Amino acid sequence: MNNYTKKVACMAIPLFCLNLTMAAESNLSDLDIRKAVAIEEAASVNQNTRKVTGVVKDENGEPVIGASVVEVGTTNGIMTDMDGKFELSVKANGSLQVSYVGFVTQTIKPGNKNNIQIILQEDNQALDEVVVVAFGKSTKEAFTGSAGIMKSDDLLKAQVSNPAQALAGRVAGVQLSNSSSQPGSSPSITIRGFGSISSDTEPLIVVDGMPFDGDLNLINSNDIESMTVLKDAASNALYGARGANGVIMITTKKGKNGDAKVSVDAKWGANSNGLQNYKTTNAQQFYETYYKMLYNYYITEPGGSMSATDAHALANQHLTNSSSGVGPGYMIYTVPEGQDFIQQGGVMNPGATMGALYDYNGQKFWLQADDWEEIGLQNGFRQEYNVSVSGASERINYYTSIGYLDQDGIQEGSMQKRLTARAKLDYQAKKWLKVGANFNYLEHHKEPSSHLSCLPPGCK
């Protein structure tokens, strides 16, 4: 009996110990796994990023202070210190973009290097840009006046039929005001504000060295090489008083050395209203508002201090009588016989129906509410085609082009069609003699939307 009891006790203790050991081993295993994962992730992060140091200098070896050093594709960046140095943590395969005003932006891939030296080169392209001035050509570096330049590429991106419209928002100091949305209309141009209250403020326009008194809409934008706006007195001194309001110098394209170049350009587009229309009252709200205006007037002292009943009756009478001279002058609702158009309380009679017959000088007109914004405005189709042939040799330089523009305006009936042709030829007869000719042909037709301003009964 005693032996059996001891055996039972010996069997229970190992089992209990074994369970504790298994539980401890299980808990320890989970903790070790979490620690191993955390260590592995930290090691992975350290392997994917590294610290890069360096210095940014110019071509003379001077440190560039405040240069921007940014990891490409991220917002991770820093500015160089007083010594042109920087320190940045980047990805192992990352690239650095270094930029500073007046220098060419560079993209550097550090590779395996942890310390790099970057030499920024000066951006001389803007200084070498050619500026067309009154006495010929100059570079921006040598030019001391104030001028704005617009190249042919910028003109083509603007997608405008009038070259002047391309200057809006692109040349500082130039203000354009459009008084009409008619296709083919030219904006009013003001350079550096108004110079006179009474006299003309339009600038002088010079095309290929000759003053141009015509409309800029008559020049095909595709034929323009550059537009230079001379703003101050030093720039346009050669033109004297004529250039007091500024000068816009237009240089047309010419051929370039090499084989003949044939260019074909076709554009299609649509014109639409770019402004949001105001929210307006409908026909019912208009008549109810007009009634309230008349009613409120009649019950006050200036209107006769009428009773509510008399004011209501007189307001309805003038509202529906087209010839009273007090109401709106027309009635587009048909009201049941013997009933008021506007009921007590200022609400329209629910029995009134849209549409009314109107007699004017023996002619019958059917009046009804129309949405004039929907009728008067449209999405216009625009198409433009240009073909040019140009080339140059040792003695001859030529450029010929033909362009066609067909544009519908956003107002019903407004449109313009323009056909232009240009031939430009320069011949170097002798070293001291150069002969040139510049021909331009234009056929322009435009239709305003004036018919919309004449509505019955005013139209005949």
Confidence label for 128 from pLDDT (cuts 50, 70 and 90): low
Q: β-pairing, 147-151 with 247-252?
A: unpaired
Are 152 and 207 in contact by the 8 Å Cβ rule? The answer is no
Check whether 174 has a pLDDT greater than 50: yes
39 vs 143, higher pLDDT? 143
Residue 227 burial by CB count (10 A; 0-12/13-18/19+): exposed, middle or buried? buried
Superfamily (CATH H level) for 130-252: TonB-dependent receptor, plug domain (2.170.130.10)
Nearest to 389 by CA among 150, 222, 208, 217: 222
pLDDT digits (tens, 9 = 90+) for 211-269: 888 888 888 889 998 888 887 776 667 777 777 888 888 889 988 888 899 999 999 98
* Dist. CA 264–CA 40, nearest whole Å: 62
Q: To which residue do tokens 């296709």 refer?
A: 183
Stated as kind and residue range, the H or E segment containing 19 is: helix 2-48
For the chain, the structural domain boundaries read: 49-119, 130-252, 259-273+375-453, 283-368
Q: How many CA atoms lie within 13 A of 114 on its CB side?
A: 3
Distance separating alpha carbons of residues 371 and 28, to the nearest angstrom: 81
User: 11 Cβ partners below 8 Å, 6+ apart?
Assistant: none
Written out in words, the top-level CATH class of the domain with range 49-119 is mainly beta
Distance, first Cα to last Cα, the chain: 135
What residues contact residue 19 under an 8 Å CB cut-off, 6+ apart? none
Minimum mean pLDDT range among 30-34, 295-299, 315-319, 335-339: 30-34
Q: Which of 35-39, 274-278, 328-332, 404-408 has the highest mean pLDDT?
A: 404-408
Q: What is the pLDDT of residues 357-383, one digit of tens each?
A: 888 888 888 888 888 777 778 888 999
